[in-house]
Structure 1
């Protein structure tokens, strides 16, 4: 009986690992637009996807404060390029709302690429 339980548990674990491995899905290649709220207004981005991952992000419009915006832009955008979402990019201290706005705008653009 113990052997059957071990085999069943092992089989369930294997299925869980296989399902988990399949959860990272590539994005459809193309160019997508997204918009999210920043500190002082909307942040609009154009995101390019190539080979299933973000290859480029262009900020089309923002109304963020100079000096603070650049800190967020210089840290967050490179952290997203090469990924399939902006979720893991860290926000910048002192530019949290701008950082989050960039991440949210990129993720909204990527919704169309799924």
Structure 2
């Protein structure tokens, strides 16, 4: 087993707001579609990496109390954290050094109320 995680969903109350938020903080395109009554915004994937989607549907409820997904913060996660407040999210853990081997983490609450995190080596 290469990755314990193969896909993740980020629940949204306001799909368009959530898509705008993640596009702005991560600087990437999100492919939007609807499947079986659920709106989905897929993060880019080349088919070899773990990816996920923003989802809005009856079975999806945002939460700051459940599992926390760590997104790739690129070369320096501070770049992402700096965009969180501008996108109407809230940084709850600033860039924090864990160890030389692990690097840094930071955490935020997104526009939908989900607790999320970012990771980078620098």
More strand by share: 2
Normalised by the length of structure 1, the TM-score is: 0.26
More helix by share: 1
User: Highest relative contact order (Cα 8 Å, sep 6+), 1 or 2?
Assistant: 1
